[in-house]
Amino acid sequence: MLTAVAVALVALDQQRRAAVEEEEPMSWLTSPWHDLAIVAAKAALMYFTALVGLRLSERRTLAQWTIIDFVAAVAVGALVGRTAVAQSQSYASGAVGLATIIAAHRLASLLRFRPVLGKLADHRVRVLVADGQVRRGQLRLCGLTDNDLYSELRQRGVFDVGELQYVLYEAKGGLTLVPRQATPPPLVAAGLQVCVGYP
């Protein structure tokens, strides 16, 4: 019985759409007002749902971008956009998808505290310059050229690589510049202990 009702509703919807297309030759460019109102309502609902969901999640979702943050942001954007404009997708299904992404992001954030899973989720620190020498093999592994490194150093007021003890390529893509010193500061020493590709 329900199947017959569903088939009848689909047929009626197809007839309605065909009639609208016949009446409005520019239907690919415009839409009926009630369709536009539905899009606006779903967009606003998805926006506020995302706002509440992200407010309830950790602050790091918005402040510090790691791989898991980027994936979550792309997924949230896709869900919000698709739910707003796709006629076949209800607000409820978009909201459930959004809540699932936020919960999965929270779980992935917690799993980062496990050493093995943390290595899978985050890039490791790499040493790009050691004792004033550029480590080109490490640059290549990071997808960087010499010019990328030199440009970043010049922007930070460094004009001679020989002035540097270390340049650390951090997990989130930033550079830490360490001037020549007798012994590295404690936080630099900690970074060197967890880095990859450096003895």
- Mean pLDDT lowest among 33-42, 55-64, 68-77, 190-199: 55-64
- Find out whether 45 and 3 touch, Cβ atoms under 8 Å: no
**Number of domains composing the chain:** 2
Query: How many CA atoms within 13 Å lie on the side-chain side of 145?
Result: 3
Burial of 169 (0-12, 13-18, 19+ CB in 10 A): buried
Q: pTM here?
A: 0.60
Structural domain boundaries, residue 168 = 123-194
| pLDDT interval class at 59 (50, 70, 90) | low
Does 37 lie in the same domain as 100? Answer: yes
Does 157 lie in the same domain as 108? Answer: no
Does 127 lie in the same domain as 187? Answer: yes
- Mean pLDDT lowest among 40-54, 87-101, 130-144, 153-167: 40-54
pLDDT, tens only, 92-126: 888 888 888 888 888 888 888 887 777 777 778 89
| pLDDT interval class at 163 (50, 70, 90) | very high
The pLDDT of residue 153: 95
Does 111 lie in the same domain as 132? Answer: no
- Strand-pair partners of 168: 127, 176
- Average pLDDT on 49-53 reads 79
Does 96 lie in the same domain as 140? Answer: no
Q: What is the CATH number of the domain that holds 133?
A: 3.30.240.20
